[in-house]
Structure 1
């Protein structure tokens, strides 16, 4: 189990130096994906990580996007949270993929949005 050391908009850094961030790893045309860390406390060991509130959201200009939160937990208490987003571009014709990276290496896709 590890503890959180510091947080920036782009990265969550654990006390052992492990860095966790998000990048858009695939997209077409004007579609995009991103993830930002919004809050963290250094109290408590990390006991769980949950992807929550995954839903499709209609954007004002006619596109759709997938949004979610990644919550890092200590027991039943959230100690860090990231907001994730992947859209399918102007007019819903494209796609994007958001992946999570640990120490600069891609460990997997976390959120995707594709055209209908």
Structure 2
């Protein structure tokens, strides 16, 4: 069943989601070791050895950088695996991807060998 917009800003959800996903795509293509430097480049500031909360905030800031949210709110999901866009008649979670999630949880450390 197709969902129809209930509010005017619902019409802007798709372009907002595409813009956020494009920003996340830049991060997804990096290794966990490269993500810290990529975030410093995108955000134009250095953050030495940040905490998990700081890394979450950095990923969110990079995800919505230069995006006109058209009244939508963007937050990180509790587990850090997605950017949640909400505020209209629907909400949408956009996955940050495994590499970005690993960076959020463990920082720039290389994953342990199995």
Does TM, scored on the shorter chain, surpass 0.5? Answer: no
- The two structures have a TM-score, normalised by structure 2, of 0.29
- The two structures have a TM-score, normalised by structure 1, of 0.29
Instruction: Tell me which of the two structures has the higher relative contact order, counting C-alpha pairs closer than 8 angstroms and 6 or more residues apart.
Output: 2
More strand by share: 1
More helix by share: 2
